[in-house]
Amino acid sequence: MATIPTAAVEKSFDPFEKEQQLRAEAEAWDTSDAKPAEEGDIQVIDLSDYFTTGSRDALNAVADQFRTACEEVGFLCIVGHRIPRAETAAMFDMVRRFHALPEEVKKSVLMDRPDWSVGGMGYLPVKNRKLPARPTGNYNEAFIVKRDHTLGFDDNQWPPEEALPGFRARIERYAGLMEDLGRKLLPAYAVALDVEPDYFDAAFVNPLYRLRMTHYPPLPASETDHFGIAPHVDTTFCTILAQDRPGLTIFSERRREWIKAPMVDDSFIVNTGELLRTWTNDRFISVKHFANNNTGETSRYSIPFFLNANADHKMTCIPSCCDPDNPPKYPPISYNESQAVAQGE
């Protein structure tokens, strides 16, 4: 392996330069010819034995699958995750009810409105040009909440309780389930990277996360130049996605072409993001992907949970991912110093 100059890690990280780089790369991708997925394109990993026994052998078996998926694909599908089907169904029902609210109610919690002190939370209308920012609008609407070591649920925007009874309670409950699931996955990531199972614990004491509740309306024939959500890579450590119907398309590094991700019953799609890619010195992939809704008159809904380390935790290259012949390529940065800042997350 070619030696990377040590000076590469001495350059300061510019989040705005990084965001422009990511946008330029995404706008150059040719997404016009997506193919159906083939068996094995996205690995299905059963967590049942690991979550039931907690044994090191079960953890090692899961970690081996995570390693292959994250090094070669970047997307994987988990089953046996212990999130009750009824909880996910209730969450989707509440998300559909939110997006069915009158526009004036949704816009009362509009993201980045001048009279709300915290950005990156609240309602994004259809054809929004944010998250990701692109020249043409994303043909979806979304409601986003986030938490970190300084922000709680009280700091988020919420529609009036009388407009949608039980909405906040349901969102808080689901976010808690996702945070717990994300924490349970950390040992699998750690062992997959040849470090101790508790390696990431200190970095996730008060993790930053965003929960996005997205509605993809049917795409009219006149709007064919719009993506449901434009091609991008996530900024995250990892993303845990629930979806109610197909629509996700990813770039397969194995096949070197775009593939349409299949739906697996009672599962979550999990993918690595840009921050985990840099934390692992490019050992893990940050996958190109986009979403569309071309299902006629039927809406599509998805609920991604974007999990990150503590917002102020410095992510220094994982020891197993660098050596004298492969020194760190990136300076240590925290989420608060990353391209997430430039994206307005």
Provide the token pair at 280: 């692992």
pLDDT-derived band of residue 119, with 50, 70 and 90 as boundaries? confident
For the residues 123-133, what does the mean pLDDT come to?
A: 82
Q: Residues 46-57: pLDDT tens digits?
A: 999 999 999 999
Between 327 and 218, residue with greater pLDDT: 327
CA atoms within 13 A on the CB side of 14: 6
Backbone angles phi, psi at 150, to 5 degrees: -115, -20
Mean pLDDT of the chain: 90
Beta strands, E only, 8-65: 35-36, 43-46
Asked if 105 contacts 163 with a C-beta cutoff of 8 angstroms, the reply is yes
DSSP-assigned letters across all residues of 33-74: --EE--TTSSEEEE-HHHHHH--HHHHHHHHHHHHHHHHHTS
Asked if 310 contacts 204 with a C-beta cutoff of 8 angstroms, the reply is yes
Whether the pTM exceeds 0.85: the reply is: yes
- Rounded distance, CA 13 to CA 25, Å? 18
Between 14 and 312, residue with greater pLDDT: 312
pLDDT of residue 224: 66
Provide the token pair at 174: 């689901």
Among 136, 304, 126, which residue's Cα sits nearest to residue 219? 126
> Does residue 36 have a pLDDT over 60?
yes
> Does residue 35 have a pLDDT over 60?
yes
Between 19 and 263, residue with greater pLDDT: 263
Q: What domains sit in the chain, N to C, each tagged with a CATH number?
A: 6-343 (2.60.120.330)
pLDDT of residue 5: 39
Among 227, 187, 192, which residue's Cα sits nearest to residue 204? 187
Distances (CA, A) of 284 to 174, 177, 259, 276: 28, 25, 19, 7
Give me the percent of the chain exceeding a pLDDT of 90: 70
Start-to-end C-alpha separation, the chain? 36
CA atoms within 13 A on the CB side of 323: 5
Task: Give the count of beta carbons closer than 10 Å to the beta carbon of residue 245.
Answer: 14
pLDDT-derived band of residue 83, with 50, 70 and 90 as boundaries? very high
Of the ranges 31-40, 138-147, 184-193, 222-231, which is most confident? 184-193
Give me the percent of the chain exceeding a pLDDT of 70: 93
> Does residue 63 have a pLDDT over 80?
yes
Backbone angles phi, psi at 155, to 5 degrees: -85, -10
DSSP-assigned letters across all residues of 104-143: HHHHTTBTT-TT-SS-S-EEE-TTB--SS--SSPBS-EEE
The region of weakest confidence among 35-39, 69-73, 221-225, 333-337 is 221-225
Q: Residues 191-209: pLDDT tens digits?
A: 999 999 999 999 999 999 9
For the residues 275-303, what does the mean pLDDT come to?
A: 89
pLDDT-derived band of residue 159, with 50, 70 and 90 as boundaries? very high
Q: What angle do CA 81, 155, 150 make, to 5 degrees?
A: 75
pLDDT-derived band of residue 341, with 50, 70 and 90 as boundaries? confident
Q: Residues 217-258: pLDDT tens digits?
A: 987 766 666 788 888 899 899 999 999 999 999 998 888 999
Provide the token pair at 130: 């944010």
- Rounded distance, CA 137 to CA 101, Å? 22
> Does residue 9 have a pLDDT over 60?
no
- Rounded distance, CA 344 to CA 119, Å? 7
pLDDT of residue 111: 93
Tell me the residue type at 121: M
> Does residue 338 have a pLDDT over 90?
no
Provide the 8-state DSSP code for 277.
Answer: H
Tell me the helix, strand and coil percentages in the chain, rounded to 5: 35, 20, 45
| Beta bridge mates, 306 | 210, 239
Which residue has 């694909």 as its token pair?
A: 73
> Does residue 6 have a pLDDT over 60?
no
pLDDT-derived band of residue 11, with 50, 70 and 90 as boundaries? low
**Coil/strand/helix, residue 230:** strand
For the residues 35-49, what does the mean pLDDT come to?
A: 93
pLDDT of residue 297: 77
> Does residue 132 have a pLDDT over 80?
no
- Rounded distance, CA 206 to CA 240, Å? 18
**Coil/strand/helix, residue 269:** strand
Asked if 137 contacts 229 with a C-beta cutoff of 8 angstroms, the reply is no
